[in-house]
Each structure stands twice: as structure tokens, then as C-alpha cells.
Amino acid sequence: MINIVAIASLRDLPQMASYGIGSIFFYLLAAVVFFFPVSLVAAELATAWPERGGVYVWVREAFGERWGFVAVFLQWSQNLCWYPVVLTFGAASLAFAVAPDQAAALSESKTFIVIVVLLAYWFSVLLNFRGLSGSAWVSIVGAFSGVVIPGTLLVGLAGLGLLQGEPSNLMKNGSELIPNLGNFSNITFAVSVWLAFAGMEMTAAHAREVRSPERTYPLGILIAAGVILTVFILGALSIATALAPDQYHLQSGVTEALQSMFDRYGLGSLARVVAFGMALGVFGSVNAWVIGPSKGLLAAAEKGALPPFLSRVNRNGVPTRILLVQGAAVSLICIAFTAQPTVASAYFMISVLTIQMYLCMYIIMFAAAWRLRSLHPEQKGKFQVPGGKPGLALACGLGGLGCLLSIGLGFFPPNQLKESGIDPDSFKTFLAVGLLAALGLPFLIAWARSRGKSKPSSAS
């Protein structure tokens, strides 16, 4: 359930709905070249090296301390951008639940979005101070209220409407099963699929905290994979069926589609209840993510990659100081959110930067998996990628190429957002500077730490 609620958010469905039936192609492509390779490789690494730290431990064992720190820093820093993005979707759902007549205005109100994001995020931080036992129940409730129930209603109502002969907007959104891949600006929204599928390695941070990780972890990934892929494809098609391209927004398209379908049967008020459940589901998703990457950073701090004061934990083993630093950074990003011309433009720009940073981490992870199989063939977990070394090479190769493809596409502003106020040059500059900072900062920190350690202590 933590896998599902951390990954299977409905927030990216409106972007993919804009491709109509072409969304099927992009989801299946991302599953083959990214989702399944990440899932298989992460399962092997997590059972062979189940100690706390996840990606940091795997990359450190393969390439040394510095690269381990770079990998976990990328994983951690992308979350700083991801929290405002996913909580914006939650804020839009909450606006519809409490004030449906003003939902459109509130979902574009920067003040409303920032206040909701900050309150929800900091409450999740405080809840996670209690450790996994204090947050797991929120993830389970969030999985049902934010994914399973609204996803089932979205698909069920869309199917019922088609059976009853309701007009469909599917082909208006996109009539090509394989969209025009030559026009990069037309397929930039598809980059969101990679972020939608990202995160299977996150639960490796808890691998040694569950019973029988060699069996439970891979089985959890397999079950989650089937559920997530089904929800994504059918959910995007359902929105495309219910609404025409100009009838929904990125941050609120799911609630707008549900409202439209409930109205057919005079049940419009139920859409508010579902929207509230979706807002709760977003909180559960954030709650599932807050502690995972911070534990990887904690492992790096304990090895001296960060100042010693960041390695302190409370009685529940939670790195509270790292969480507080993380919270301060998220708060600054939220405030910067208001500098963009519209909420939709800020939502998309920060989404793409999140993807770029995350994919760089995955490229390092795939390289580490291949190197570890060669360096430590004796270090076998209870799960290995099928097919031996050729199977692992295929998984790592497909995954790495998929990441590079998505990074390249991310630099083309989408045609679908021409009216959002995004300036193409500013968009590319924002991504380039953000990506360079995320890659360069961990090296700078490592260099500063190594200089500090090498300086002789002064005489007393």
C-alpha cells in the first residue's frame, strides 16, 4: 500500500489525457523502458543490500562515498520540488471539496495554494517524527481515499457513460495511437509519465523494517506495478472521454471530470466528497515520501558526508534535523512559487525540474547495479533480475536510455501550455540552472568536507 500511495497519484492524469488514445502508447513505453527496469533493479539491490540508506548504500558500494552522496542528494533534492507540485494538486482538490463554486479561482490563487501546501507539508513532517508506525496508517487510508476509490469512480462512471451512449471527447483530445514523435514540443507532457512511475526504490529505505524483505519487497513491487499501470491508463482515458481539451486544467482536471460525470445523474454533491478523499490521498503520498529520502541522507551524514549535527536522530530513529532543514527548503520553494505568472505554469516548470533531477539519480543507480553484480557476485539477495547478467544488462540499458530520452524531451516547452505564460527561453534556463545546481552542489559539499577534514587541528 505504501508503494501504491507513493506512486499511483492521479495528479498527472490530466496531462496524459490531452493525448487521448495516444496516452496508452506513452504509458506502455514508460513501463517498458523505465518502470519495470527500475522495479526489478531496485528489488535486487534492496534484498542484496537491505541496510538503511537505499540508493546511497548501493551507489557507495559501487563507486565510493562521493558518488553515493551525489545519488542520495539528487533523490533528496528532487523531493524538495516534488512536494509543492503534488500538494498543489491536493490543494486544488481541497478547494473543490470545500468551495466548489470558487474552486477554479482558488486553484489559480497563489496565496491559497501556498498556504495549503505549507500547512499540509509541515503537519506531515511532525507526524513523521513518530517514525514509520506513526505514518503507515495515513498511507493506507490515503491509498484508498486518494487512489483506489476516486480512480474506480473515474473509470466506472466513464465506462457507464459510454455504455449509455453519452458523447465521448476521447478523439478530440488525441486520435493517434502513436502520436507525432517528431514534434518534441507536442510530446513534452509525456515526460510526466516518468515522474508518475518514479519511486519504486523509495521503500528500500524500509527494507529491513518489514518481515521477510527478500520475499515481501519484490512481491509488493509486483502487485503495485499491476495496480498502478491499470489506474494510470484507464484514468487518463476516462478524463479524455468526459472532457474536451479546453474544459480541464492540469492541477484540477480529475475533479472537473468527476464533477461532469456525477452531474449526469444528479449526484454532483458526491464529487465534493471524492475530492476531499483525493486531498487526503495526496497527504498520504507526501507522508509516505517525507521519511524515505531523509534516511538516505542520514546514512550519508553518518559517514561524514554532511556536518555531524545533521546525523542526530530522535528516540524513534527519525533524522529530525534533516527533516527540519528539508522543511525550510520546501517552504522557500513554495514562496518562490508565487513568482510565476500562473499556478499552471509554476506547477509544470517545477514538475519538469523534479523529473530531471530524479532521472539523473536513476542513471547513477542503473550504473551501480551493473557494477555491483560484477564486483560482488557473491552478494546475492533472495531476488535477482531474471536472465542473469544479460537480463540485468537489458534492464539497466533500457532504464538508462529511457532516462536520457526523458531528460532531453523535458527542455521543450509543451504546445499545450502556450497560454500559461511560460517563456521558452526562461523555461530552458530555469531547468538548466536547477539541474546544474542539483548536480554540482553535492560535489561542492563533498569538496568542502574533505578540505575541512584535511586541515590540521590548531594547537591548544
Can you give the residue ranges of every domain in the chain? 2-450
Residue-by-residue DSSP string for 391-420? HHHHHHHHHHHHHHHHHHHTTS--GGGGGG
* This model's pTM is above 0.75: yes
Q: What is the pLDDT of residue 88?
A: 85
Q: What is the pLDDT of residue 458?
A: 45
Could you tell me if 344 and 251 are in contact, meaning their C-beta atoms sit under 8 angstroms apart? yes
Q: How far apart are CA 244 and CA 226, in angstroms?
A: 28
Q: What is the pLDDT of residue 422?
A: 67
User: CB count, 10 Å around CB of 221?
Assistant: 21
Q: What is the pLDDT of residue 63?
A: 92
CA–CA distances in Å: residue 378 to residues 177, 224, 338, 373, 381:
45, 29, 52, 9, 9
Residue-by-residue DSSP string for 45-102? HHHHS-STTTHHHHHHHHH-HHHHHHHHHHHHHHHHHHHHHHHHHHHHHHHHHH-GGG
Q: What is the pLDDT of residue 419?
A: 58
Q: Which CATH architecture has domain 2-450?
A: Up-down Bundle (1.20)
Q: What is the pLDDT of residue 22?
A: 86
**Dihedral angle over CA of 321, 324, 325, 328, nearest 10:** -170
Q: What is the pLDDT of residue 207?
A: 54
Q: What is the pLDDT of residue 355?
A: 85
Could you tell me if 74 and 438 are in contact, meaning their C-beta atoms sit under 8 angstroms apart? yes
Q: How far apart are CA 218 and CA 58, in angstroms?
A: 17
Q: How far apart are CA 194 and CA 218, in angstroms?
A: 20
Q: How far apart are CA 424 and CA 429, in angstroms?
A: 9
Q: What is the pLDDT of residue 360?
A: 93
Low-confidence ranges of the chain (pLDDT < 50): 133-134, 457-460
